[in-house]
Structure 1
C-alpha cells in the first residue's frame, strides 16, 4: 500500500542564525540576514531528511508538497517526484505554510514532515494537520519538543513510523519573543501540542529554562576554566546563562545570547568583541588560535546547532576539537537523564569528528566524561 507523506518547508527558516540575529522571524530580519550574507539551508536539510526516509523505507511512497522552495525543490534533490498541492508566490509567508498544511490534510496524508523552526511549528499547529508530524530542524532556536535532533533523525523516525506505527504522543510547541530575545530577555510561551511519533533519542526534548544559579558551582567552573587558558589566550564564548555567569565570575561582561570573543588577562577575562556573527568571528580569528567554551542547552543537551549557528563548521575547525571546552554544572548534566549531548553543525563529517566522549568542566577540579554525537 502506498504511503502518503506530506512535506512543507519554510525556506527562510534559520537565515538569521549564522549571522547572529538570534532568529529569522519577520521580513525586516530576513532582509538584514541576506544583507549580512546569510545562506538559506532549510531546503538542503529537508532533502537530507527525505533521503534518509527513502533509504530506510524502500516501499512505495507518494510525497505531496508545495511548489518551489517550499518543498518541491528539496523533494527533487532527494529523488522524489512530488505531487503539488500549493503554489506559493515569489515571497512565501506563514499563510503559505498554513495553506499547504490544510491542503495536505484534505489530501489525507498519513504523516507530515515540516522543515523550519519554532515559528513554523506554530503555523503548522494553527493549520490543524490532523495527522502525526515530525519537525526537521532548520531554524535557529527550536525550543519545541516536536523536532528531531537532526534532519537524518527526522527521516529515520518517519520511516520507522510508516513501517511499524510508532507510538504517538502530544509534544509541546513553544516559541520565544524574538524582539525580546535580541534585547537579551528570555520569554517563552506554550502555544499548544502536536502529535509526534516517538523514537528514543531521535526526537528532542523541550528546552527547559535556567535553574536557580549555584554560585559555588559556577565559580568553581570559572576557576577551573582559568587553568585551561594561559595569559594572552583568546576565548570564543558561546551563548547561554551558564557561560554568561562563568564569564561574570571572571570579571567579564558578556552578552547572554550572543557569541563573544575574550582574552585571558591576569586572573580574569577581557572582552574584545561581543555578539559576533560567523563572518566577524572568522575575520577576527584569521591566523590566530582560540579556545571555544560552550554549555549545552538545558533539558535538550544540544552542544552545537541550537541558537549558536554563528559557530559554523569553519569557525569550529579553526579552533579544533582539542580546544573545545564544555561547561556544565553537575545538576545540568543530571537533568539530561543519561541522554547524550547533541551535535548538529550541518556538516556530517564534522559531526563525526566531534563525536565521542568530551571532558566537561563541572566545578573546581571537577570534570566528567560525557558522550556527544
Structure 2
C-alpha cells in the first residue's frame, strides 16, 4: 500500500467522490511513476463530476483552473487537484485548446493525453486502467504518442520537446512514428513561448541522460527551430547537473561557438542564472588559458570554481593546477580574506590619511591593497595598511 501523504490524500478524495455517486481516478505522471517504483510529488485526480459538483462535495476548495475543469481540494494531508473528464477543441495557437468540453467518459479524457505512459489511470483500489498500452511501453522503455502523433503535436507543439525530455529523464527510446511526427512538425515549435521551452530544458539538464536529449534534438530537426547550436553532443555523456539546472545552462553556453552567454537572454533565463553562468565561463577560460591566481580564487564563488574545473575535465582541458576539487576548496579557504567587505579599511580611511579628495585613485589604491593582502605581502590590519599606504604615498602613489 502506498503511504505517501499526497497519495493518501488523493485516495481519500476518490473515496468521498465515490460515496457521493461519482467516478474518480488518479491520472497522469503519478501513475507512471508509481509503476516505475518512483515517488510522485503531484498526485492528480480526474472525475466525471463537474467543478460545481466537486465543490459541493468538499468543504475546503480553491478555484485554480476552473474554466478548464480543475478545482483544488484542500486536504489536511496534501492539496489535490481534481479535474473533470474533458475533451479539447481545436488548438489555433498550437499551445492551448480554444475550448474544453466536459465529458462523462474516462476513455474520452485519456485519449487526449500526450503519451501512452502518461495516459494510464489508477482506481481507488489501485487497479490500473490502461487503454493505450502504456504499461507495456513503460516496461519496454518506449515513448509513444497517444493516437496519431502529428495530431498530438499539432495540438500542442511543446509535446515534441516533452517527448525528448521524457526520453532523457527515463532513458527511453522514442517510438519511430512518434519521432517521425516530431521531425515533420518541428517547425511548429516557433509557436511556443521561450519560457515554456526553457522549462523543458531545465528538466533536460537535470535528467540522467541529457546527451540523449541533445542527440534527439539534432536528429529530429528541432535544433533548426531552437536557439543555439547543438554540437559536441558527445561532450554531454558524462555531464551531471544534480538538481541545479544552471549547470546545464553553463555547459550549454560553453559548447556554443564563441562560448556565447547571450543565448540565455533568448531563452528568458533569470538574471541570477545569467550571472552565475557568465562567471563559470570566465573562470573556465581563465583556468585553461593561464591558470587561476589567488585573485581568481577570491573573485569567484567556490561553486563557480568547482563547476568550471569539472567542465574542463569533461572537455579534456584539465590543467596541471589545481589537481582536484579538494585542492580548489583548500586554496579558496586559505585566502587571507574571502570578500571585499572583510577589508578593515575603506575609502574614507584613505582620504583621511592622505588629505586628498576622492577620485579614481581611491578605487585603484583599494584594489592594490586587496592584491597585496591576497598575495600575503600585507596583513589585513588597519595600522599595517596605514603604514604601507603612507609609505607608498611617499614613494609617489
Structure 1 length-normalised TM:
0.26
Greater strand content: 1
Structure 2 length-normalised TM:
0.25
Q: Greater relative contact order: 1 or 2 (C-alpha under 8 angstroms, separation 6 or more)? A: 1
